[in-house]
Structure 1
Amino acid sequence: MRAIQAYSKSSSFLVSFVFTFLLSIGVAFNTYVLTVANDDLLIRETEAAILADIGGFRSLYNSAGQDAVIYALEERLGDRNNDFLYYLKSGDGEFVSGNLQHWPASDVEKIRNGLLEIEVSVRQSHLTDSKNSKQTALAMIMAFSNQDNLLIARSVQEYEFAVWLAQASSWVMIIIVCIISILSIGVAYYVVSRINKISDTADEIISSGKLSERLYVESEWDDLSKLTLSLNHMLDKLEQSVNGIRSLSDNIAHDLRTPLTRLKTHLEDLQEQDVKHHLIAECDNILAIFNSLLRITYIENNAQRSGFKLGDVSIVLEDAIDLYHPILEDKRIELVSNIDAEVFAFCDRSLIFQVFANLIDNASKFTPQGGRITVELSKHKTLVNFIISDTGIGVDDTALAKLTRRFYREDKSRSSSGNGLGLSLVSAVVSLHLGEMHFAKSHIADSGLYCKITIPCE
């Protein structure tokens, strides 16, 4: 359904619509020229030719009389290039000369200004009555002073066939336009549908971080399939690069953790207590960094939901608040909570606890004494919403998008405690739960940080 909605807004639809519209205008104009315009042109041309012929016979009659008219008719009837039809009758209705069988007695339709449309029987030869054919003709009647009448006509039989052929061609073109329109719409819809599939799959790969997934290749003959193959090749290279970076990080963490553990063991044997405690604390901090790196890598690379089960998230949040309550009391930081009861979600309880603990810990570090932290947890339809705001020092707008980067710290001097991996871990856990995380300026003070996490209930 999404593809249909997107189709009407796509460039493919616009191109197919414009193409069909212009083609329809061309067919309509062509039909008009071949039928209506040509019909009027033929009538005008035939009328002018008959009038010219009448003028010639009238002049001939006035100057030389009836015999000259009959002689001229006989000459024209003998001319194979002559396409006029004649019937000269006397005042008493007798046939005098011409190549028509009969004087038209019926099926006479007046067109305009004395021009008639008639059905005539044409002689094959004016000397015989054998073999005749009926034709449609345009005619005019000329009366002489001696009561003789001359009917001059011109056959439109060939024109009628041409008109029929033109009309048939017009219908064929209309059918072709309809077929082209349907094919254009079909091809455009196919292209938009394919692009939507590619876009949806790419969005899913980007949002989930599963670089091992690939775009489905339907065929190999069209350009979109070639594009899909190129994108899959790009994903192969990207996956190799990312895996190489992650592997390097893991190897460094693994290789350094062992000698650091040994160093810590040797430091514990030192006699000078002050130096020993300081060095051991530094080793613990380094080990914590490596453990956090390994934990983040494990969550990102092993996106398994085996530890997921339906649980009450509100209880997990209350446990995290209880854990940090003494620390907040020592700093005289007020914590205001608004937690809905029985907020159930399909989640990993231990990972969600780490999310809440990291965010509360982060807020407590950067909120000065006498400050305030607000925590909200609610359920809206199929989503669980967690919001935490503080009155701390906050961050610049340009730094909001960088907060989840590994080792990123807003404190450039790095004088405050922490290693810049807490929010990276939170982001990895939220992504594992198919959720979203959003940072903004605090809503409860001029400074401070606002964080909202949304995860699906199922």
Structure 2
Amino acid sequence: MAGALRRRARSITVQFVFAAFLSQLLLTVGILLFVQHKTERALQSYQREWVEELSGDLIESYRRGGLSMLKESVDSRAAARRGNLAILLLIGPDGSRIAGNLDSWPLPLPAETPWRKLTLSQADGRPEHIVARATLLPDGSRLMTGRIIETELDPGRIREAAFAAAVGLGALLGLIGALILGRILSARIGDIVDTTVAIRRGALSSRIAVNGSGDAFDELGAAINAMLDQIERLMAELRLMTDGLAHDFRSPVTRLKSVIERAAAATDDERAGAALESAGREADTLLAMLSTALLISRTEAGMGREQLVDTDIAAMLHDLAEIYGPLAEEDGFVLAVDAPSGPKVALNPQLVGQAIGNLIENALHYAEGGTRIVLSAKANRDHVTLSVADNGPGIPTDRREEALRRFGRLDPARTESGSGLGLSLVAAVATLHGGTIRLDDARPGLSVLMSLRR
């Protein structure tokens, strides 16, 4: 579980989604902090102007009518009920309360100050936040004018709740946006992966879709497509050359075999006849190699894909067992079939039958000391796996890749007749059917598994 999480964390898609989400969240928080700062500054400016205007009106009353008119003005403003946010207090020169809606002068407030924030305790003990201005009058009286900045609707808590909600919404939207971007990124990368998988399975004509936007993905797709075009062209030329050579060599080899047969029929010398017979067998081997090489080239080119038919796998394996059974008995082997009846797969029965036949012949040829060859089939939702297993000496694990190469023959096999193309043909047939070939340990012996896509 921990390893899977570490692999996911290293995924470029996950990192991209996380980076996009984090950047969106930081941007949202930054914008909200800026808006909050500007809002608070604007609110403070409004409150200050409001208090200064109120203070100016009251001082003007003092100038016109002295302390008595100021008292009337303070009492009038303090007596207002509806929507009254004003905090007023007039203290005489002797420190006695003259008018206002406060009982006493707040201790933190000096006798004269242009602006101060205060916290007062209400009758029920709840704190009340105000902004206030204190003015020292010429006769020694003190006037405090202020405004409540937090009421029952507490703007601070409202701002905090709004900020939290906005951050939560921004995080959600940022996550959704990051996931959408991640899906777009994964889709573009997935298109490249799907194309490479299709090419690996033999569909060399597959290309990465480009939308003409000119972005990095388009440039990458165009570069890969250009590389694939060149590879396909080179492989087509190589295949054409191989086909041409195999086709051209078959005619002279056939004529050579005919000449050898006529010479063998015309001679009475036993030694010459034996030599000619050996030459004829070598000519047959060469013809078989050319035919197999030509078949592999055509199979790799996709020829035969149009001849796919629904085939009963179990019935096909039983037919092959009947064909090769007598030959296996002559070599001391028992040929068995382990395949459940029922599954049908769209395949080219001639090519698949020839591939399985090659595997049976290889087992008969090289499984020295073995006594049993088993043809089996296992199917799942996506693939069906055909295998030919023997209980002979097998192939060492470090030599199996070499055995799969074209014309690859392990040292002990070089003294035997053969071309080294049998497994190459099986691999080409598997690729034609969207599958793969794999060598495995049969414990004891060798198991060759050919996977075909259903």
TM-score clears 0.5: yes
Deviations 1:151-210 (A, max 9, x none): 356999xxxxxx9xx99xx99x98999987766554443232222122212211221x12
Shift, 1:455, TM fit: 2.5
More off after superposition, 292-301 vs 255-264: 255-264
Residue 65 of structure 1: aligned partner:
none
Any conservation in 1 of the 2:370–2:391 contact (CA below 8 Å)? no
Is 1:95 aligned to residue 88 of structure 2? no
Question: How many percent of aligned residue pairs carry the same amino acid?
Answer: 25
Residue 79 of structure 2: aligned partner:
105
C-alpha separation in 2, matches of 1:361 and 1:151: 111
Residue 215 of structure 1: aligned partner:
208
C-alpha separation in 2, matches of 1:367 and 1:155: 100
Where do residues 252-263 of structure 1 align in structure 2 (5 Å cutoff)? 252-263=245-256
Structure-2 change in CA distance of 1:199 and 1:378 (3 Å): closer
Any conservation in 1 of the 2:85–2:147 contact (CA below 8 Å)? no
Structure-2 change in CA distance of 1:113 and 1:452 (3 Å): farther
Residue 205 of structure 2 aligns to a residue whose secondary structure is: coil
C-alpha separation in 2, matches of 1:93 and 1:235: 98
Structure-2 change in CA distance of 1:417 and 1:393 (3 Å): farther
Structure-2 change in CA distance of 1:332 and 1:321 (3 Å): same
Residue 71 of structure 1: aligned partner:
none
Shift, 1:395, TM fit: 1.8
Residue 422 of structure 1: aligned partner:
422
Residue 205 of structure 1: aligned partner:
199
Residue 455 of structure 1 aligns to a residue whose secondary structure is: strand
C-alpha separation in 1, matches of 2:326 and 2:399: 30
Which protein has the bigger helix share? 2
Shift, 1:366, TM fit: 1.8
C-alpha separation in 1, matches of 2:252 and 2:423: 27
Residue 411 of structure 2 aligns to a residue whose secondary structure is: coil
Shift, 1:303, TM fit: 3.4
Residue 241 of structure 2 aligns to a residue whose secondary structure is: helix
Alignment root-mean-square deviation, CA:
4.5
Residue 21 of structure 2: aligned partner:
17
Residue 260 of structure 2: aligned partner:
267
Deviations 1:389-417 (A, max 9, x none): 22222223233334332111223661122
Residue 450 of structure 1: aligned partner:
447
Shift, 1:287, TM fit: 1.0
Residue 268 of structure 1 aligns to a residue whose secondary structure is: helix
Is 1:230 aligned to residue 223 of structure 2? yes
Any conservation in 1 of the 2:86–2:147 contact (CA below 8 Å)? no
Any conservation in 1 of the 2:333–2:373 contact (CA below 8 Å)? yes
Any conservation in 1 of the 2:370–2:392 contact (CA below 8 Å)? no
Structure-2 change in CA distance of 1:264 and 1:237 (3 Å): same
Residue 414 of structure 1 aligns to a residue whose secondary structure is: helix
C-alpha separation in 2, matches of 1:189 and 1:149: 69
Structure-2 change in CA distance of 1:305 and 1:213 (3 Å): same
Q: Which amino acid counterpart does residue 14 of structure 2 have in structure 1?
A: S
Residue 276 of structure 1: aligned partner:
276
Residue 362 of structure 1: aligned partner:
362
Shift, 1:262, TM fit: 1.7
Q: Which amino acid counterpart does residue 190 of structure 1 have in structure 2?
A: I
C-alpha separation in 2, matches of 1:236 and 1:258: 33
C-alpha separation in 2, matches of 1:226 and 1:379: 41
Structure-2 change in CA distance of 1:414 and 1:200 (3 Å): same
C-alpha separation in 1, matches of 2:145 and 2:378: 98
Normalising by structure 2, what TM-score?
0.70
More off after superposition, 408-417 vs 100-109: 100-109
Structure-2 change in CA distance of 1:423 and 1:108 (3 Å): same
C-alpha separation in 1, matches of 2:21 and 2:386: 48
Residue 353 of structure 2: aligned partner:
353
Shift, 1:295, TM fit: 0.6
Shift, 1:275, TM fit: 1.1
Normalising by structure 1, what TM-score?
0.69
C-alpha separation in 1, matches of 2:378 and 2:214: 51
Deviations 1:413-432 (A, max 9, x none): 61122211111111111222
Structure-2 change in CA distance of 1:16 and 1:276 (3 Å): same
Q: Which amino acid counterpart does residue 87 of structure 1 have in structure 2?
A: L
Where do residues 65-214 of structure 1 align in structure 2 (5 Å cutoff)? 85=56, 87=58, 94-95=68-69, 103-106=77-80, 107-108=84-85, 113=106, 138-140=131-133, 148-151=141-144, 185-207=179-201, 209-214=202-207
C-alpha separation in 2, matches of 1:148 and 1:342: 109
Residue 316 of structure 1 aligns to a residue whose secondary structure is: helix
Q: Which amino acid counterpart does residue 212 of structure 2 have in structure 1?
A: S
From 230, 240, 243, the equivalent of 1:250 is 243
Structure-2 change in CA distance of 1:228 and 1:300 (3 Å): same
Residue 209 of structure 2 aligns to a residue whose secondary structure is: coil
Residue 376 of structure 1 aligns to a residue whose secondary structure is: strand
C-alpha separation in 2, matches of 1:369 and 1:176: 73
Any conservation in 2 of the 1:85–1:153 contact (CA below 8 Å)? no
Any conservation in 2 of the 1:334–1:370 contact (CA below 8 Å)? no
Q: Which amino acid counterpart does residue 11 of structure 1 have in structure 2?
A: Q
Deviations 1:243-267 (A, max 9, x none): 1221221222122222212222222
Q: Which amino acid counterpart does residue 285 of structure 1 have in structure 2?
A: T
Residue 294 of structure 1: aligned partner:
294
Structure-2 change in CA distance of 1:178 and 1:393 (3 Å): closer
Shift, 1:35, TM fit: 5.3
Residue 87 of structure 1 aligns to a residue whose secondary structure is: helix
Residue 389 of structure 2 aligns to a residue whose secondary structure is: strand
Structure-2 change in CA distance of 1:186 and 1:332 (3 Å): closer
Deviations 1:234-290 (A, max 9, x none): 011101111122122122212222221222222223223111101111111111111
How many aligned positions are there? Answer: 382
